[in-house]
């Protein structure tokens, strides 16, 4: 970590090209500020550096902004309280406790610059502190304090701005150990299945000779109202790891440290199956460094024994002996460890003036470097638990122990320890992961675990494919081979087409062989193995079949259709064959398969899922023959079909159908197409007509109903329908078609030719708007009726023919045979003569009335010459509003009067082009004197007067034609009409 403002200077030796940087390196930090005294204590947390000087000053430096330095003085001089002996900084850098050599203890909050004395802790020589695991920032909440006299205290410290209030809210002695100083304390929280009963916490306590591990639930203290750890110390018995008394050395350094927070979410540390590594601990004693994982389960008293069982000792004797390094001679020749720190995977020890890093898994030394000069002593080895940085302090210097990619070789160590899952987890490159997979597979094969090895080998790219496959084949492990091929197929890129096809095809063969083997075992009720019963064999069969289905669904694009069909067919696996065909959407194969075996329900189930019209066209003929009703149900749900293409299948079905029309499925489908879909395709309609017409039953009601439903614009071909009806002797239908075509004569002749007198009569009445044709048709009917009743039935024939109002007896006489006597129709003749007489009388009466009307008209015409109208002196023209008598005028019987020129203009405006042109011609000829003679001029004036005065423009047709004209015109004064 480079410190801006401190000027970090690297001491890393030059490396050869391509060589990796060492995991550890100690870099001295060049201070950019002057100090007036030596360092006596130091702490680092959350990127905050705290330095204590021998003159009693405290420097607080934010490493993110190293140019800002807080200079803090203790309330009293060092001569009164002693020099600063120790400092304890919590992981959040919010709380600092300062201890002096004369037993004075002070508390400083990160938001304050004034240390406050801890009265209750006066005289207590603090050796260690366990901060609250919830890491509060406003107050310390409940913390554990270890003293040099063996006492363990619980305290609660909070910031107070009031002079009379103490920072240490309470202090309680929990236990006193006879071992001497409490050299280390640690508290963390464990996951609990019953959090409502209180937090479950773990407490580690270290002394010179013993390490205590306690687990229990804390009490329910709230905001410093009482002790919460008393419950654990009173009710729980610790699990103790103890050094032999003879080996314990009182003078040896002792400390308890833990590894920094894992990189990631700290809360995940409490999850047992989390992918984050577990926190580690290390206890420095006279024997060396005892270290292990801080396991979190089971969260009970037995956890301590499990932690100790997984822990091991790094003895002092295993550390390298001092030697001359970089021209510096070591200050001591003993392997005494002065201080330790834990990284994620290594133990960093300060031995004399050397920094030594040892791997926790193997104990091997991975780094050593002489840092201190002869006679120089370190004052502290500190760890920033949250930021994962490591620091070494002397009285005048600061060093940072830089850690680079320390887990780079962990995979190799795990591999050597045969912890393959962990090795795979920490393998970074494809080559490393491949090496782990290969070694793991080899190990499993050596143990006979072929199935487990198959999945591992599938992830290896260096292990030869042939070698693995042959190994499984030679050892008769088809299941392992199948698993290996599946895993290998998943690793092939899409571009490896041949490899994917060959592997996938091989898997098809293996699946079929396995399924056949299981089927044979079940059918013979034999035991598959010593461990599987027939019931278990059936379960395995279902599992393998499901695995085959998943395989085909996933890798169907990597399979060759023909090859797969051949392989599966050779094993006789019908269900698997059909599943594959269905998976690749080869519905033609599935349909043809079921059709060839005449399995019509199965074929129809496949057809229901189709949307391709060609599939329906291809299989409609055979399915109409054997499953017509169900097929028509399916066809009626398909909107994208062309019914024209299904006509051959419908006709072929109808040709072999011998039932009623109501049961004919071809007719049912065609009726649906015609009536529901509204098809206008003449081929469809002609097919329906041909089926109706060719049906062996003589009932024409269905055909007639269809023909009548077509109306005047039929969709079928009338000529084609007529030929079919004539060919199949469908008289009523032929007559209907003739009638719809307007060929009434042919319709009547056809009906009479088949002695259908009533039908002929109905047809003869059809041309109502053409009386001559209607009479002609009835005469043809009369001829047929009279010829059928010539022997004594003439009277009956005449009664029948009375249905037509156009026939007279004289029209029928030519049809009577020569031997008919007049007595047979004497009454009809008399009735006809009487009718003629009545008609003559009526005509005579009408003639008399017409003569009288003509005489009255002559009288009225003569009276017109004497007709007059009275014009009052002040009467005005209805057009211009001027006096009427001022010039020539017209007066109409309706009493409307107009000037002749005003009337002429109005008539011209509304008259047609012919009449208007004639009026203008007459006006021009009269005004210009083009008509010279007096008689001609009078005639022209009379014609003009007749054209103009033909009718009143206010009462006659002129007024009706003006109905669309608006009341208010554009040139009128709009204000006159305003409301």
pLDDT tens, position by position, 793-841: 556 666 666 666 555 555 555 655 555 555 555 666 666 667 667 778 7
What was the pLDDT predicted at 271? 40
List the single range of 396-400, 480-484, 531-535, 694-698 with lowest mean pLDDT.
Answer: 531-535
Residue count of the chain: 979
Q: Among residues 584, 579, 582, which one has the least CA distance to residue 609?
A: 582
For 245-304, give the DSSP string.
TTT--TTS--EEEEPPPPSS-GGGGG-TT-SSPPPEEEEE-SSEEEEEE----S-STTHH
What was the pLDDT predicted at 264? 53
For residue 12, the SS3 value is: coil
Better-scored residue on pLDDT, 732 or 798: 732
Instruction: Measure the CA–CA gap between 400 and 7, rounded to whole angstroms.
Output: 12
Is the distance from CB of 457 to CB of 443 less than 8 angstroms? no
What was the pLDDT predicted at 224? 65
Better-scored residue on pLDDT, 714 or 821: 714
CA distances from 858 to 83, 768, 846, 861 (A): 159, 42, 19, 5
pLDDT tens, position by position, 665-706: 888 888 888 888 888 888 888 888 888 888 877 778 888 888
Confidence of residue 297 (pLDDT cuts 50, 70, 90): confident
Instruction: Measure the CA–CA gap between 512 and 518, rounded to whole angstroms.
Output: 10
Q: How large is the average pLDDT for residues 518-526?
A: 74
Peptide bond into 67 cis (omega under 30): no
The answer, yes or no, to whether residue 175 has pLDDT greater than 70, is yes
What was the pLDDT predicted at 265? 46
Give the distance, in angstroms, between the CA of residue 504 and the centroid of all CA atoms in the same chain: 31
What was the pLDDT predicted at 9? 37
pLDDT tens, position by position, 649-665: 888 888 888 788 888 88
Helix (H) or strand (E) holding 139: strand 139-147
Give ∠ CA 287-143-126 in degrees, rounded to 5.
55
Instruction: Measure the CA–CA gap between 437 and 458, rounded to whole angstroms.
Output: 8
What was the pLDDT predicted at 339? 93
What was the pLDDT predicted at 238? 94
pTM: 0.59
Confidence of residue 50 (pLDDT cuts 50, 70, 90): very high
Select the highest-mean-pLDDT range: 144-158, 726-740, 798-812: 144-158
Confidence of residue 356 (pLDDT cuts 50, 70, 90): very high
Is the distance from CB of 631 to CB of 618 less than 8 angstroms? no
């Amino acid at each position: 970590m480079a410190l801006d403002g401190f000027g970090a200077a690297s001491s890393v030796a030059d490396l050869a090209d391509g060589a990796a940087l060492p995991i550890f390196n100690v870099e001295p930090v060049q201070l950019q500020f002057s100090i007036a005294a030596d360092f006596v204590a130091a702490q680092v947390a959350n990127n905050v550096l705290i330095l204590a000087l021998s003159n009693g000053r405290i420097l607080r430096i934010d490493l993110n902004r190293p140019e800002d330095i807080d200079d803090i003085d203790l309330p009293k001089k060092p001569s009164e309280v002693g020099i600063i002996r120790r400092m304890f900084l919590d992981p959040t850098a919010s709380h600092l406790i300062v201890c002096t050599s004369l037993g004075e203890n002070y508390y400083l909050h990160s938001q304050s610059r004034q240390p406050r004395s801890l009265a209750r802790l006066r005289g207590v020589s603090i050796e260690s502190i366990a901060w609250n695991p919830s890491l509060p920032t406003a107050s310390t909440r409940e913390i554990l304090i270890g003293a040099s006299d063996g006492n363990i205290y619980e305290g609660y410290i909070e910031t107070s701005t009031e002079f009379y209030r103490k920072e240490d809210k309470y202090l309680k002695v929990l236990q006193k150990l006879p071992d001497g100083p409490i050299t280390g304390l640690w508290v963390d929280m464990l996951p609990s299945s019953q959090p409502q009963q209180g937090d479950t916490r773990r407490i580690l306590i270290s002394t010179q000779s013993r390490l205590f591990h306690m687990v229990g639930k804390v009490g329910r203290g709230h905001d410093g109202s009482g002790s919460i750890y008393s419950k654990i110390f009173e009710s729980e018995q610790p699990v103790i790891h103890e050094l032999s008394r003879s080996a314990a050395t009182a003078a040896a350094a002792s400390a308890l440290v833990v590894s920094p927070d894992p990189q990631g979410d700290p809360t995940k540390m409490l999850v047992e199956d989390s992918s984050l590594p577990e926190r580690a601990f290390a206890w420095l004693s006279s024997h060396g460094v005892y270290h292990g994982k801080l396991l979190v389960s089971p969260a009970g008293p037995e956890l301590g024994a499990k932690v100790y069982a997984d822990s091991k000792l790094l003895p002092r004797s295993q550390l390298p002996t001092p030697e001359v390094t970089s021209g510096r001679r070591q200050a001591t020749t003993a392997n005494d460890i002065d201080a330790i720190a834990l990284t994620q995977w290594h133990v960093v020890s300060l031995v004399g003036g050397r920094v030594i890093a040892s791997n926790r898994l193997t104990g091997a030394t991975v780094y050593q470097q002489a840092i201190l000069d002869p006679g120089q002593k370190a004052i502290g080895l500190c760890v920033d638990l949250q930021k994962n940085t490591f620091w070494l302090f002397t009285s005048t210097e600061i060093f940072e122990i830089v850690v680079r990619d320390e887990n780079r070789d962990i995979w190799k160590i795990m591999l050597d320890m045969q912890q393959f899952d962990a090795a795979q987890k920490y393998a970074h490159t494809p080559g490393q992961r491949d090496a782990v997979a290969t070694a793991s597979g080899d190990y499993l094969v050596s143990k006979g675990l072929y199935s487990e090895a198959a999945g591992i080998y599938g992830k290896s790219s260096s292990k030869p494919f042939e070698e693995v496959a042959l190994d499984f084949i030679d050892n008769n492990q088809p299941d392992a081979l199948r698993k290996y091929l599946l895993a290998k197929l998943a690793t092939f890129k899409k571009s490896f087409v041949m490899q994917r096809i060959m592997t996938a095809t091989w898997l098809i063969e293996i699946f079929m062989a396995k399924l056949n083997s299981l089927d044979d075992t079940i059918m013979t009720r034999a035991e598959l193995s010593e461990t599987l019963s027939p019931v278990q064999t059936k379960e395995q069969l279902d599992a393998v079949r499901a695995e085959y289905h998943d395989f085909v669904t996933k890798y169907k694009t990597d399979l060759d259709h023909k090859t797969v069909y051949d392989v599966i067919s050779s094993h006789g696996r019908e269900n698997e064959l059909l599943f594959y065909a269905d998976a690749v959407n080869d519905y033609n194969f599935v349909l043809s398969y079921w059709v060839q075996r005449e399995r019509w329900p199965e074929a129809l189930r496949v057809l229901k899922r189709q949307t391709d019209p060609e599939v329906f066209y291809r299989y409609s003929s055979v399915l109409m023959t054997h499953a017509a009703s169900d097929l028509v149900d399916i066809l009626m749900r398909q909107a994208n079909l062309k019914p024209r293409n299904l006509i051959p299948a419908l006709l072929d079905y109808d040709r072999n159908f011998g039932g009623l029309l109501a049961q004919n499925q071809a007719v049912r489908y065609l009726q649906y197409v015609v009536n529901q879909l509204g098809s206008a395709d003449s081929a469809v309609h002609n097919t329906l007509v041909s089926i109706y017409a060719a049906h062996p039953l003589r009932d024409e009601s269905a055909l007639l109903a269809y023909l009548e439903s077509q109306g005047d614009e039929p969709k079928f071909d009338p000529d084609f329908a007529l030929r079919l009806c004539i060919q199949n002797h469908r008289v009523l239908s032929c007559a209907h078609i003739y009638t719809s075509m307007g060929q009434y004569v042919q319709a009547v002749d056809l009906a009479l030719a088949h002695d259908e007198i009533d039908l002929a009569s109905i047809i003869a009445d059809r041309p109502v708007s053409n009386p001559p044709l209607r009479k002609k048709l009835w005469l043809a009917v009369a001829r047929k009726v009279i010829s059928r009743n010539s022997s004594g039935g003439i009277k009956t024939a005449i009664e029948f023919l009375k249905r037509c109002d156009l026939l007279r007896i004289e029209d029928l006489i030519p049809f009577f045979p020569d031997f008919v006597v007049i007595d047979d129709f004497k009454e009809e003749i008399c009735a006809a003569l009487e009718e003629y007489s009545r008609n003559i009388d009526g005509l005579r009466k009408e003639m008399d009335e017409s003569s009288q009307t003509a005489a009255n008209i002559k009288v009225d015409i003569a009276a017109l010459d004497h007709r007059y109208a009275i014009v009052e002196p002040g009467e005005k023209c209805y057009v211009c509003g001027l006096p009427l008598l001022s010039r020539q005028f017209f007066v109409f019987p309706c009493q409307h009067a107009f000037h002749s020129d005003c009337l002429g203009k109005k008539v011209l405006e509304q008259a047609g082009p012919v009449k208007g042109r004639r009026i203008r011609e007459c006006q021009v000829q009269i005004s210009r004197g083009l008509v010279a003679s007096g008689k001609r001029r009078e005639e022209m004036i009379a014609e003009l007067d007749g054209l103009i005065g033909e009718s009143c423009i206010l009462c006659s047709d002129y007024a009706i034609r003006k109905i669309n004209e608006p009341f208010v015109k554009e040139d009128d004064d709009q204000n006159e009409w305003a409301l």
